[in-house]
Amino acid sequence: MDFRISADDRVGAQPKKASKPRQTAKAEAKPRKGARVEPSLGQASSMFSTGERPVGSSGNGPKGGGKPPRRGKASTPRGNKPRKSRSGGFLMGLLWWGFAACLWGGIAVIGIIVYYGAQLPSSNTWAVPDRPPNIRILAADGSLISNRGQTGGEAVTYRELPYYVPAAIIASEDRRFMSHFGVDPIGMASVVLEMIKARGVTRGASTITQQVAKNLFLTPDQTLGRKVQEAILAVWLEQNYTKEEILELYMNRVYFGAGATGIEAAAQTYFGVSARNLSLGQAAMLAGILPAPSAYNPKSSPERAIERQRLSLNAMASEGYITAEEATAAQIDPNQSVRTRVAGSESYVADWVESLMTAYIGDIESDVIVQTTIDYKMQKDAEFIVREQVAAEGGKRGFTQGALVAMDVDGKVRAMVGGVDYQKSQYNRAVTAKRQPGSTFKPFVYMAAMEKGYTPDTLAEDAQFDYNGWSPRNASGKYAGTVTLRQGLAYSINTIAARLAIDVTPQAVIDVATRMGISSELIAVPSIALGTQEVNLLELTSAYAPFANGGMGVIPNVITRIESKAGDVLYEASDAGPGRVVAPDVLAKMDDMLRTAVEVGTGKRANIGGWEVGGKTGTTQDAKDALFIGFTSAMVTGVWLGNDDATKTTLSGGNVPATIWSQFMTKALAGKQAAPIPGGSYEGQLVSQPVVDPNTGQVIIDPNTGQPQVQYVDAATGLPVQTVTDPATGQVVQIDPNTGQPIGAGVQPLQSGQDLTAGAGLPAGGLIIDANGQQIDPTTGLPVGQIVTDQAIDPVTGFPLQAQSNGVGQAPIDPNTGLPMVLVIDPATGQQVWVPSAPAQAPQQIQQQAPANDNPRTLMDLIFGN
């Protein structure tokens, strides 16, 4: 600033008298417009208020001076404007730039949303994908065995669950779930502040709806684009689904650890209950798992799971879902371990059932319920007995694994153990594994011999021999000389079984084994007699069922019914089976020998009180496998013990396997009435057979139905019989040729004079008249007096014979002699044919069994013709 100083301003100078200012001075006092005004010393300053004066000044201002400033206001020289406050300008600038930043930030956010949203498919194509179907597997009594499928549990609805189950999830995962629009800005802001304070990531900010969107539509990649798309889809979900539906989607598809996807799978896995029956404490623990399923689940980290449960309960209390007292009461004592469900041997059954589903109903598109034949108590008894015996004897005898299959005599599987510990090994040693059956295969060799004409009393030589370089030996190294076949099977003599297989041919043995139920591929070599070819325990056990049920083949079955969740029947088991596979006389001989094997032979440990028991032990080379297959009139059970790597043991089929069999069967048969093993009589049984054209050997097709013609034969005689369908039972019954009446109750015969086509059944006696007035023979159903041409084969010439029926149910008449023809067995085909009575006789069967008393022929005699 420029100061002007005069002489009067010096120290000690006297001020001059004031003179009248000149015009020029006056003009100077008044500044030009826009000119700078400089303050001068000696004049009143605007910084002072009224009443304050500088030292040496008079009370009045100079004459001609300006007016004094108004009270309360400072006098400001014209042209001296006050400066603006710097703080006010900064705030205004800050507001301006904040607004601009928000505007441009909003534009950027919109641009990002549009950019990543454009990468999604058109919204009109968005749809919630179907949840992977679940297979719910039930025991025979309806109890749950297991769930199978990608999720491990069925879907449950929101309203099926106790109120505190969804409440626990909301309180733990998304407290504002019921009020936000899919994205929670408040929650996001709180998470950001929390992470700023913690200087790191603390927790996610995704809502339940966002998690559903991610799980349903997106990959788990943690990228900006994925998060933006997740938010877009979350808003879409909220617009198209109710809160309950979104929460239901979440609960049924979220992962809870330990292979459990969905609330039902988690409840079953961790607590062995349905989600519908979860307690408050259990629900809170499941909700606590969700932030980190692998780290917080009660199987891997029980202590963490308990702590997470406490936090979930406190969150529920703070949100008002439960009281503080309820939260405290529901907590599990930290000193108490969490009890979770352990997958037992029933899981082997569940795996087997799951593997069969495609074959039964094709591709599974929705949840299904499978009813099985499994008796849950028997299943747990079998599991316990196998596990205990392996634990008690395995260390001493060098084996680590065991398997068991138990079924009713009609093939319904009641229990199956595929290994000692499913948690450690899911390999099913009862169904999947194939091992050598050893001597348990010998009954099929003996059965082939019985069908050839041998008997249990036929003698055979137990001695070493060589057959084309093959020389079988007994495991004991000892040989008994001449023994009966009954003794040979009872004591499991290798040389006897080998001689029989050579005599009947290995192919005949395979034919018998296949007919009885062995489905594995077998090679026709003599060593098959010693059980050297691999089969599984399931098929081997089922192949013994005909010995127990009277000779009828069975197909092992574990599934009785498959339904959709809506109750539609998708599959229902049939009682149909292979029919008779063992002739009664052969069956009687086999049961005789197999009972002896248990009574006095290698299977003595398998005896159980009050029941007839048949069975056979089996031990392979170096005792790598040890088996016992046994049966009563009620049940067939097979046991296998050994090592997965087929290492040597000190087992035999007659020790630990027979012990396990006896212990299990004692429990399984408890409370049942003991009954003898049926003998397999043919009496009263009818067998359906297709009608074959004797000229071409082709099945005759009924021109009216387009289906093969079928005839019924008496299983005891092999002769065709007249049949009728019982209207009361729907069963086919035989007509008595003497009386014309159906054999069996429930058939209502036609009355005399009634048209045959008017109802089912035949009259009780006498002739009937059809609608055309024609008399009908009640035995044959043919018009009386009508001659029917029939074909028969001459066993001598092989040419068809022209025969005639007399129309009243008698044998065909030979047109050359006028005599009735007779029924014989064609030696070339084994079929029954009509032949003239005079020239032809039924061929005599070769007797291959020893005489009752004196001079019995040995097996060596029969084989080599001595």
Q: How confident is the model at residue 142 (pLDDT cuts 50, 70, 90)?
A: very high
Q: What is the pLDDT of residues 560-585, one digit of tens each?
A: 999 998 899 999 998 878 889 999 99
The band of 804, judged by pLDDT with boundaries at 50, 70 and 90, is very low
The predicted model gives 406-434 an average pLDDT of 96
What's the order of all strands across the beta sheet hosting 559-564?
144-149, 134-138, 368-372, 559-564, 569-572
pTM > 0.75: no
- Tell me the C-alpha distance between 231 and 226, whole Å: 9
User: 456 and 318, same structural domain?
Assistant: no
Domain boundary among 668, 697, 720: 668
What is the β-pairing status of strands 368-372 and 134-138? parallel
| CA-CA-CA-CA dihedral for 788, 791, 796, 797, to nearest 10 | 110
Asked if residue 631 is part of any domain, the answer here is yes
Residues 415 and 309 grouped into a single domain: no
Condensed to tens digits (0 to 9), the pLDDT of residues 235-257 reads 889 999 999 999 999 999 999 99
| Placement of tokens 């007509």 in the chain | 735
Domain span at 529: 385-668
Q: Could you tell me the pLDDT band of residue 71, with boundaries at 50, 70 and 90?
A: very low
The most distant pair of C-alpha atoms in the chain lies apart, rounded to whole Å, by 190
Q: Is there a domain that residue 791 lies in?
A: no
Q: What is the mean pLDDT of residues 212-232?
A: 77
Residue 282 — pLDDT band, cuts 50, 70, 90? very high
Is residue 533 domain-resident?
yes
Higher pLDDT, 734 or 277: 277
Is residue 200 domain-shared with residue 299, that is, in the same domain? yes
Q: Is pLDDT above 80 for 686?
A: no
Phi, psi dihedrals of residue 309, rounded to the nearest 5°:
-65, -40
Distance separating alpha carbons of residues 558 and 288, to the nearest angstrom: 39
Across 83-97, 406-420, 697-711, 748-762, least confident range: 748-762
pLDDT at 67 over 50: no
Q: The domain that contains 315 carries what CATH number?
A: 1.10.3810.10
Residue 843 has pLDDT above 70, yes or no: no
| Residue 833, helix vs strand vs coil | strand
Structure-block tokens of residue 548: 């127990």
pLDDT (mean) for 575-596 = 92
Q: Which two tokens stand for residue 276?
A: 């519908």
pLDDT tier, 484 (very low <50, low <70, confident <90, very high otherwise): very high
Least confident stretch, 32-46, 251-265, 821-835: 32-46
Catalytic annotation, pick one of 439, 492, 633, 662? 439
Indicate if 287 and 431 belong to the same structural domain: no
pLDDT band, residue 458 (cuts 50/70/90): very high
Task: Determine how β-strand 775-776 pairs with β-strand 768-769.
Answer: antiparallel
| Residues 114 and 240 occupy one common structural domain | no
Question: Virtual CA dihedral for 453, 454, 455, 458, nearest 10 degrees?
Answer: 150
- Do residues 245 and 232 touch, judged by C-beta distance below 8 A? no
- Helices 263-271 and 243-253 meet at what angle, rounded to 10? 40
pLDDT band with cut points at 50, 70 and 90 for residue 553:
very high
Q: Are 526 and 622 in contact (CB under 8 A)?
A: no
Average pLDDT score over residue span 637-655: 97
Asked if residue 419 has pLDDT above 60, the reply is: yes
Beta carbons of 718 and 831 less than 8 angstroms apart: no
pLDDT exceeds cutoff 90 at 34 = no
Confidence of residue 656 (pLDDT cuts 50, 70, 90): very high
User: Is 230 marked active-site?
Assistant: no
Residue pair 403/418 in contact (Cβ under 8 Å)? The answer is: yes
What is the mean predicted confidence (pLDDT) over 792-804? 43
Model confidence at 607: pLDDT above 50: yes
At 233, the pLDDT band (50, 70, 90 cuts) reads confident
Average predicted confidence (pLDDT) for the chain: 78
521-545 mean pLDDT = 97
CA atoms of 406 and 184, how far apart (whole Å): 58
Q: How confident is the model at residue 737 (pLDDT cuts 50, 70, 90)?
A: confident
From the list 173, 230, 264, 461, the catalytic residue is: 173
CA distance 410 to 407: 8
**What letter would DSSP give residue 589?**
H
CB 229 within 8 A of CB 183: no
Who has greater pLDDT, 846 or 349?
A: 349
Give the per-residue pLDDT at 88: 64
Per the model's pLDDT, the better-predicted residue between 151 and 237 turns out to be 237
Q: For 368-397, write each residue's pLDDT tens digit.
A: 999 999 999 999 999 999 999 999 999 999
Instruction: Mark whether 430 and 293 lie in a shared domain.
Output: no
739-743, 747-751, 859-863: which has the highest mean pLDDT? Answer: 739-743
Query: Is residue 726 assigned to a domain?
Result: no
Q: What is the dihedral of CA 183, 187, 193, 194, to 10 degrees?
A: -120
Q: 8: which DSSP letter?
A: G
Same domain for 227 and 107:
no
pLDDT recorded at residue 259: 87
| Per-residue pLDDT at 755 exceeds 60 | no
| pLDDT at 777 exceeding the cut of 80 | no
Q: Which two tokens stand for residue 135?
A: 């297979």
Active site includes 173? yes
Rounded to whole angstroms, the Cα distance separating 143 from 380 reads 13
pLDDT at residue 223, rounded to an integer: 67
- pLDDT exceeds cutoff 70 at 836: no
- Tell me what pLDDT residue 815 has: 58
- In contact, 443 and 665? CB cutoff 8 Å: no
Q: With a cut of 50, say whether residue 792 has pLDDT above it.
A: no
User: Span 275-285, mean pLDDT?
Assistant: 95
Distance CA 298, CA 284 (A): 12
Mean pLDDT confidence for 447-451: 96
Residue of higher predicted confidence among 199 and 823: 199
Using an 8 Å Cβ cutoff, are 767 and 784 in contact? yes
Tokens linked to 264? 């039902």
Once rounded to an integer, what is the mean pLDDT over residues 227-237?
84
304 & 391 share domain: no
Is the confidence at residue 172, as pLDDT, over 70? yes
Q: Is pLDDT at 657 greater than 50 in this prediction?
A: yes
pLDDT at 687: 64
* 151 contacts 134 by C-beta, under 8 angstroms: yes
pLDDT-wise least confident of 170-184, 365-379, 591-605, 712-726: 712-726
pLDDT band at 76 (very low <50, low <70, confident <90, very high): very low
What pLDDT, on a 0 to 100 scale, did the predictor assign at position 782? 52
Mean pLDDT within 285-313: 93
Residue-level pLDDT at 864: 39
Lowest-pLDDT range of 136-150, 260-274, 284-298, 838-852: 838-852
Residue 419, C-beta contacts closer than 8 angstroms, at least 6 positions apart: 345, 348, 401, 402, 403, 425, 426, 427, 428, 429
Q: Read off the pLDDT of each residue in 22-50 and give the average, rounded to a whole number.
A: 42
Instruction: Give me the residues paired with residue 148 across strands.
Output: 135
**pLDDT for residue 445:** 98
pLDDT of residue 816: 57
* Confidence category of residue 727, pLDDT binned at 50, 70, 90: low
> Which residues, in sequence order, are CB contacts of 859 under 8 Å at separation 6+?
454, 458, 459, 460, 461, 485, 496, 499, 500, 503
pLDDT (0 to 100) of residue 341: 76
Separation of alpha carbons 331 and 865, rounded Å: 86
Higher pLDDT, 287 or 102: 287
**Does residue 96 belong to any structural domain of this protein?**
yes
The packing angle between helices 263-271 and 280-289, to 10°, is 110
In a domain, residue 130? The reply is: no
Name the domain boundary from 668, 683, 708: 668
pLDDT of amino acid 555:
93
Cα-flanking dihedrals φ and ψ of residue 417, to 5°? Answer: -115, 120
At residue 81, the pLDDT reads: 53
Q: How confident is the model at residue 125 (pLDDT cuts 50, 70, 90)?
A: low
Is 32 a domain residue? Answer: no
Whichever domain contains 556, its CATH number is: 3.40.710.10
Looking at per-residue pLDDT, the higher value among 292 and 760 belongs to 292
Total tally of structural domains belonging to the chain: 3
Whether residue 533 sits in one domain with residue 640: yes
d(CA 258, CA 266): 8
Q: How much is the pLDDT for 54?
A: 41
Based on the fold, state whether residues 282 and 412 are members of the same structural domain.
Answer: no
DSSP 393-418: HHHHHT--EEEEEEEETTSBEEEEE-
109, 199: one domain: no
Which has the minimum average pLDDT: 109-113, 301-305, 398-402, 695-699?
A: 109-113
Check whether residue 195 and residue 317 sit in a common domain: yes
Determine, yes or no, domain membership for 176.
yes
Tell me which of 668, 694, 720 is where a domain ends: 668
pLDDT for 116: 58
pLDDT beyond 50 at 294: yes
Which residues neighbour 719 within 8 Å (Cβ) at sequence distance 6 or greater?
713, 823, 832
- What pLDDT score was predicted for residue 789? 38
CA–CA separation, 792 and 794 (whole Å): 7
For residue 501, give Cα distances in angstroms to 441, 450, 510, 609: 12, 12, 10, 35
